[in-house]
Structures are given as structure tokens and as C-alpha cells.
Structure 1
Amino acid sequence: MSIGTCCFPGTNREAETFKEQGNAYYAKKDYNEAYNYYTKAIDMCPKNASYYGNRAATLMMLGRFREALGDAQQSVRLDDSFVRGHLREGKCHLSLGNAMAACRSFQRALELDHKNAQAQQEFKNANAVMEYEKIAETDFEKRDFRKVVFCMDRALEFAPACHRFKILKAECLAMLGRYPEAQSVASDILRMDSTNADALYVRGLCLYYEDCIEKAVQFFVQALRMAPDHEKACIACRNAKALKAKKEDGNKAFKEGNYKLAYELYTEALGIDPNNIKTNAKLYCNRGTVNSKLRKLDDAIEDCTNAVKLDDTYIKAYLRRAQCYMDTEQYEEAVRDYEKVYQTEKTKEHKQLLKNAQLELKKSKRKDYYKILGVDKNASEDEIKKAYRKRALMHHPDRHSGASAEVQKEEEKKFKEVGEAFTILSDPKKKTRYDSGQDLDEEGMNMGDFDPNNIFKAFFGGPGGFSFEASGPGNFFFQFG
């Protein structure tokens, strides 16, 4: 029976009428009505290859490629010389991501019509998709996820209905931290197929990497219900449960004050999954907090640094590191971190923290008069006097009159600094201004014109009140007049 004949002449004429009506609706881009009339034509004459070919074309325009593939395959089963049927079968295979099967269909079309330009171009497209697949597979193993996304984007231009390509792209987007994009791709697939285990896995993966571990586990479990042998979902589910348990145990130990155990638990948690950046950033910050409690401030700073390397928007880690910098008197670094925090969250609290750090930085660049006298910041007036007496006598130029010019110069400098320190710290008003970081020059005191001998003489009772005399090589004592 030829393509144009089927059943009885009257039936054939009626089927042809339905086909013509289908063609008219197809030309108007009313594909749903075109589909209905092509179906009527097929019902009237189910052995006509062109009717299946036309309905396949309509289904392709509606994006229903799997149904279209069935019609295209039926058309070439009825008539293996139907070139357009082979082209449509190939196009459906390609759209669904089966590039190898598409190549076979296009090759058959070219065997029937070796000059067919569409078949030639589609054959090239199918080969390009196979090449993109091959490159993507290699790059995924290399963890070059950006390149995989690029390859899948190119492949999807020719295979827009391929869930496999979309899932691979979404998984790589998740690995790159581009969670909203990955979720969007997975959600689109789930809207069409709510039982798609791969899409459920990717949806869970996004939640897992966003530190929504409990919700992520629900998706992994659902994926495993759909596909019990889904290896990636199984591993991710196991990691998620282990990570959640270790983190919670660490938090519990910390709250109970068992810092050593908390440190060990956070460290174990960090070894579970290096790909979970957001959760690991929190674990590093938590461990940094533990180290700060243990007064291991350098280790705490290192942990917080690792946290912000993983998540440069993690305010809590910046704040923790800044406090550790303050505690170790690394004020420039503290100011830098507090500036970062305040730029991100302009709260009164953050502004005050920044001001405090800037003040300490300013104070750190001045002479440390407490250190010069060798006293604590809470030293009493009597302790300050005793310290001055000891240091002034130790560095007085007369005591070093027999030393080298270089030593004499250094001791003279120290003697002057001791006098400055005593002048400031023995005056309650100046001491208050000094402690608060205010400029002493506003008090009218220019330390550049300061004469330490005047302080020394006043302290020890005036001119002629003492003298340094040698009592042997390298030995000095002072006596009062």
C-alpha cells in the first residue's frame, strides 16, 4: 500500500481532509488544533507515514519530543524511504540528548538524499553534542565545573529537552556555589517529572551546600526512594547526617564548657566533606571561638581566616578574628576587619567596635609610657614613683659617662623617655587623657622641648642633691649632698 493510500477511497479522502486542516492550523502556529486534526487523520488511516510525520512535527513544536519521537519512528517503520521522517526522528533523539541515535537517523537521511542540507547540518550538530559530552565528562573528573557548565550550555542549544544535560549543569552550578541557578534548573525538571531522582538529588545538594542540612536530607531520602541505587544521593545523605551530628555534638560540648572535646568534634566535622563550603566556614569559625576560649589566639585567627576564605561574606568570622587581633594587639588588622564588617552592616555596635579599634591603633603608635616605666596600666601613684626612681637612676647620663658615645646617646634617650613617662602618668589629668588616647599636645605640653633633668632634680631634692661616683670598674653609686 502506498503512502497516499489507506483503507478505502472514501476513508482516504476524509483522512486527507483532516490532514489539510491540520496543515492549515500548523501554518497558523495553532499546534494544539493541528495535533487534533493530524490525530483524526491517523485514526482514519493508521498506515500513512506522512500523517505520523506531520504529527511528530507538531509535537516537536509543542516541546513534546518523547511523544514526537514515537510518531517519527512509526513513520519510518511504515516507510523507510521517508526522508523527513528520519530527519524528525534524528531531531527528536538530538533534542532528548541521544546524539549517537540522532547520528544514525541523519546518516540514513543522507543515504536517501546525500545532498540534503538539513541532514548535513544536523549530523554536524549531533557530532558537536557528542564532543561536548566527552569534554564535559573529562572536565567533571578534573573538577573543572565551570567548563562543564559551558559545555552543557552549548549542548543544550541542540538538545533543549535533555534532562541529563540539565542535571549535570545544575550539579556543577551547585558545586560552584551558584545555588539559585542550580535550584531553578532542578525545580523546572521536577515540575515536569516529580519522581526524577537526579533532580531531587541536585535540589538536596543545593540545600546541603547552603547549610540547610535537615531539609537536604529529606530530598536525598526522597531521591533514594525513587532510585535506591543512586550512589551520589546515598553518599550525600550519609555525609549530611554525619556533618549535622558532629556539628551539633560540637555545639553541645562548647555550651557545656568542654572546649577540648568541642575542638576535636569540630575538627572531625571539617574532615567529612571539603565541598560543603558554607558549613565548613561555620565549623572553622566555631573552632576559632573554641581556640579563643583556650587562649590559642594565633590558632583562632587562622581558623577565622580559613572561614572567610571559604565565605568572604561571613560577618561572624570577621568579628571573631577582629577580637583576636585586638587581644594580640594587632590593631591595624583589627581595624581592617571591623571596617569590612561596618561596610557590610552599618550598625551602631559595629561602628563602636571600629572606633575602639581605631583608638587602640592610634594609642599603639604612641610611646607606651607604662612599658617604659615597667608598670601595669593599673599601677598606683606610689608604684609609678618607685618605678620612676629605679629607671631614672638606671639610665641617668652621669651613670654612663665612661661608656661609648653610642651607649651614652642611647641611655640619654631612655632617660628622657622615663622623665616623659613619669610626667604624664604622675599627673591624673594627663594620665586620663593619655589612657583615653587623646592628644597631649592639646594640654600645651610639647615633649620635644622637654628637659628630663628638671624632673629628676625635682624628684631627688633639687640641684646638688646627689652625684654619681665610681666605686670600682663599671660600678656606680649615688650619694646625697
Structure 2
Amino acid sequence: MAAAAECDVVMAATEPELHDDGEAKREAESFKEQGNAYYAKKDYNEAYNYYTKAIDMCPKNASYYGNRAATLMMLGKFREALGDAQQSVRLDDSFVRGHLREGKCHLSLGNAMAACRSFQRALELDHRNAQAQQEFKNANAVIEYEKIAETDFEKRDFRKVVFCMDRALEFAPACHRFKILKAECLAMLGRYPEAQSVASDILRMDSTNADALYVRGLCLYYEDCIEKAVQFFVQALRMAPDHEKACIACRNAKALKAKKEDGNKAFKEGNYKLAYELYTEALGIDPNNIKTNAKLYCNRGTVNSKLRKLDDAIEDCTSAVKLDATYIKAYLRRAQCYMDTEQYEEAVRDYEKVYQTEKTKEHKQLLKNAQVELKKSKRKDYYKILGVDKNASEDEIKKAYRKRALMHHPDRHSGASAEVQKEEEKKFKEVGEAFTILSDPKKKTRYDSGQDLDEEGMNMGDFDANNIFKAFFGGPGGFSFEASGPGNFFFQFG
């Protein structure tokens, strides 16, 4: 940029006469020289003031406008600089530096086609001009980046668009259009702080920029701050009523907010079927709104858990964490569903994820409970063996043992095959184990809490199921099963 904005210290030999008043010309030249001195010191504000004084004295001197354009470029005021550069070449079409500065301003502002025309004119006047040759290549590179970005945006390849805009902005640092496109793609990629920063920088320079207002709203919308997002979309539409993207985003935001709130209301009222339908409709509004959709999936998962559709609830919570891997509520909901469906390993995994993120006492206890249930699940389920509920009473446990013990007693299956006899003997022994544990309050408590029964000094492999059977039925002697008919048996004490 410094090369393009280099100040013209030497006046053109063919500079036209601008004033008859020689004194005015000498004074203007003095102002220009002072401007050059300040420019050399990089005091561009003072240089601007003196070039302006020179222009006021001789308003038809192309060089003065060229110098002021160079100063404005160094101040980053490319739009104002463009006006001066264009005026300089209107006054003197053979002014090469004027064409270069005009092209540089066009390029910095993102108008690469206009920049190409200016650089081409400079090359027509001086075909060996190295700066004009390089800038012409730069302008064509920007045109190519624009074309690629347009195609990739349609393909929703937002990362590539950001790459192209970053390259283009190296040559067009003042182009709001490129910055807005980059910010919009950053928002679509979930890189909200970066997108907000770009949009905010533009709004600081131009608070009425509808595109920047739209991107600012888009970031809020995708961060699930829907109400605030709507305010920015509305403001953008005030600035540009025909802003199509802001119009669509505003409509989606309002619809999403309304559906979500209606779903929440139905849920609170216990109308789970309606809540499910409303959350499903909300999920169809905008698939790009990842954060809000993650919450909607979790909400629908909660509805499914209330409806006891636990597999569907797990699926919804999984969809939620796929969209937002930091969504603790979804992990907790899914973990509870895993617990309810006795998928303890999965529950432990989710609770571990939660506890690693938020080390609270509550989360620690949930993890501990899941770990206990996992440990218990890997042991024999004595309740299942007896066919009773985990809250079964003492009488229910006794009745269950009586039924199962008689059902699996080896004598009852003495006429069966060796394989069947072996299986029934195994079941008979397990029934005895189950009764031994669950009929003893102390052992039952340890078993229910997940503690190791071996710590009690009880080796379950050493006990005799027949002795337990005899003790339960109270018979001092032997016992036998006698047939009273095909398939019918009755128990007889000896």
C-alpha cells in the first residue's frame, strides 16, 4: 500500500496552468511542499491539511489531488481517497500514479473489475510499470476468489468461503461486502465470537449497515438468544426493507420462538402428546439452528421419557448431544433413560462425561449410583431368579422360593435327559442362593447396596441347596416327588 500511496514530490512537467495569479501558484506549491514534509514524517493528518490548502489555492492541479488521495489511503479512508484519485485523472488522464491510486482504492474497497480497468490504463501509459503489473494480477486474483466463494456458498462449503474471503481481504482490506460474507459463514460454522467481532467492527464505522446488523442478529439467533436476534433483524429491515436474508431469518426466529414456547406450555400442562407434536414441528423450521434444535431434541426426549418411550427418548437425547457436545442436560436425561432401561454401562459413560464437566456433589452421586447398578448388574440377579420385584416383602420372597424350589428340584426331573437334569439342578441351586441372600436382612441390604457378599465370609459355591430346601420345608427326614398321573407331581415329606 505504501508504494501505491507514495506522495508526488516532483510536479509533472506538463502540468497545466491553473491560475494566472503567480502568487497563488507559489503559495499552493509551498503548501504542497509542507504537505510532502509531513507525509514523509507519517503525519498524515497534517499532510492532508496542507494538501487541502494547496487544492484550495489551485483546484485544477492533478498532482495535489493525487497527493491528498495518497494521504487518505494511508489513513485507511479509501472511499474519500477514491474521489481524489478520480479527480486527479479527470484533470490529467496521463497521470499514471493517479490511475494506480484509483485502482488501488477500487481494489481495497472490493471493486476488482473497476480496479482492473484503472491498472490497465496505467499499463497503457507505462507498460513496464511493475506496480501496475502486480496490482493487475492482484485484482484478477480477487475476482477469482469471489467466483470460487460464490460457488462454495451455494454448496454450503462455508470453510472454503472463509478461506477465499481471507485471501481476498489481503488485497481488499476495506471491503465490507467480503467481511460480511466471511462473518455470515463464520456464523454458519458456529464460530460466533469471530463473526460478531467482524460485524461489530463494521457497525462501529457504519451503524446503519443492514448486512452487519443481519449477521449480528444471526449470531444471536444461532446462540439461542432468539428474542435479541429478532431485534437486530427488525433493525436491519428498517435500514433495508428488501433485505431477503434478514426477512427469512426474522420469520424463522419468530416461528421457532413461538413453537418452542407452545411446546413448553403443553408440557407443563401435562399434554405430552401435543408437546411432542409442537417440538417436532419446531425442529422442522430451521435445521441450521444447531443450539436451539439441540434443546428441542432434549425437550422432546423428556416428553418421550414421560410417555415411557425410553428408546425414543434416548435417540432424541443422542441427537441433541450430536448437535451440541457440551449440552449437560441432554447427557443427564439420556443417562437417566439408560438407567431406566438397565443399560448401566452407557449410563456410567454419560454420568462420567457430566461429572468431568461439572464436578458437583449431585453429579458425583449420580455417577456413584450408576456405578453401583453396573456392578450389581454383573452379578446374579437374585430377584429375577426368584421372579419377584426388588421391593418384594419377606412373605413374597418366601412364596417365590417355595414355588421355584419345587419347580426346579432335581427329584422332579429324575426322568428327564441328563442335559435337562443338569440345567434344573443349576436352577435349583441358584434359587437356594437367592433365598439365602434375600431372606437375610443383613445380606439383602449388602446385596442391594452393591457390596461384595464375599466380604461377609460367605462363599456361595460351598453351600448345599438341599439343606436350605429341607430347612425351609421343615422336614426332618428325606423328601420325594411322587407322580399321581402323567405330568402331575406332589411333594411328600419323609
Q: TM-score, normalised on structure 2? A: 0.93
Equivalent in the alignment of 2:82: 69
For the Cα contact (< 8 Å) 1:397–1:408, is it kept in 2?
yes
| Structure 1 residue 477: Cα displacement | 3.8
Spell out, residue by residue over 1:382-409, the C-alpha distance to the aligned partner (whole angstroms, 9 max, x if none): 2212211211121122222222222222
| Structure 1 residue 457: Cα displacement | 2.1
Q: Measure the CA separation in 2 of the matches of 1:330 and 1:407.
A: 31
For the Cα contact (< 8 Å) 1:200–1:220, is it kept in 2?
yes
Q: SS at 2:461's partner residue?
A: helix
Q: SS at 2:241's partner residue?
A: coil
Q: SS at 2:207's partner residue?
A: coil
| Structure 1 residue 296: Cα displacement | 1.1
Range moving further from structure 2, 12-21 or 22-31: 12-21
Spell out, residue by residue over 1:247-287, the C-alpha distance to the aligned partner (whole angstroms, 9 max, x if none): 11111111111111111111111111111111111111111
Q: Measure the CA separation in 2 of the matches of 1:382 and 1:194.
A: 79
For the Cα contact (< 8 Å) 2:220–2:228, is it kept in 1?
yes
Q: SS at 1:182's partner residue?
A: helix
Gaps of 5+ in 1: 1-10
Percent identity over paired residues: 98
Spell out, residue by residue over 1:212-242, the C-alpha distance to the aligned partner (whole angstroms, 9 max, x if none): 1111111111100110000000001111111
Q: Measure the CA separation in 1 of the matches of 2:485 and 2:419.
A: 22
Q: Measure the CA separation in 2 of the matches of 1:378 and 1:188.
A: 65
For the Cα contact (< 8 Å) 1:19–1:38, is it kept in 2?
yes
Q: Measure the CA separation in 2 of the matches of 1:383 and 1:253.
A: 41
| Structure 1 residue 293: Cα displacement | 1.1
Range moving further from structure 2, 50-59 or 455-464: 455-464
Spell out, residue by residue over 1:35-78, the C-alpha distance to the aligned partner (whole angstroms, 9 max, x if none): 11111111111111111111111100000000000011111111
Q: Measure the CA separation in 2 of the matches of 1:106 and 1:55.
A: 19
Equivalent in the alignment of 1:337: 350
Q: SS at 1:449's partner residue?
A: coil
User: What is the count of residue pairs matched by the alignment?
Assistant: 471
Q: Measure the CA separation in 2 of the matches of 1:24 and 1:465.
A: 123
Query: Which of the numbers 107, 117, 120 marks the counterpart of 1:94?
Result: 107
Spell out, residue by residue over 1:103-152, the C-alpha distance to the aligned partner (whole angstroms, 9 max, x if none): 01111111111111101110110001001000000000000101100100
Range moving further from structure 2, 217-226 or 435-444: 435-444
| Structure 1 residue 193: Cα displacement | 0.5
Q: Measure the CA separation in 2 of the matches of 1:355 and 1:97.
A: 60
Tell whether 2:410 aligns with 1:388: no
Equivalent in the alignment of 1:263: 276
Q: Measure the CA separation in 2 of the matches of 1:295 and 1:378.
A: 21
Query: Which of the numbers 176, 187, 201 marks the counterpart of 2:200?
Result: 187
| Structure 1 residue 463: Cα displacement | 5.7
| Structure 1 residue 471: Cα displacement | 4.9
Q: Measure the CA separation in 2 of the matches of 1:191 and 1:98.
A: 22
| Structure 1 residue 184: Cα displacement | 0.5
Query: Which of the numbers 130, 134, 138 marks the counterpart of 1:125?
Result: 138
Q: Measure the CA separation in 2 of the matches of 1:299 and 1:289.
A: 10
Range moving further from structure 2, 321-330 or 222-231: 321-330
Equivalent in the alignment of 2:70: 57
Query: Are the structure 2 counterparts of residues 462 and 479 from structure 1 closer, same or farther at C-alpha, using a change threshold of 3 Å?
Result: closer
Q: SS at 1:447's partner residue?
A: coil
RMSD of the alignment, in Å?
1.2
Range moving further from structure 2, 104-113 or 466-475: 466-475
Q: Measure the CA separation in 2 of the matches of 1:32 and 1:450.
A: 100
For the Cα contact (< 8 Å) 2:475–2:493, is it kept in 1?
no
Q: TM-score, normalised on structure 1? A: 0.96
Q: Measure the CA separation in 2 of the matches of 1:282 and 1:46.
A: 65
| Structure 1 residue 460: Cα displacement | 2.8
Gaps of 5+ in 2: 1-23
Range moving further from structure 2, 297-306 or 147-156: 297-306
For the Cα contact (< 8 Å) 1:460–1:466, is it kept in 2?
no
Q: Measure the CA separation in 1 of the matches of 2:455 and 2:147.
A: 75
| Structure 1 residue 464: Cα displacement | 3.5
Q: SS at 2:491's partner residue?
A: strand
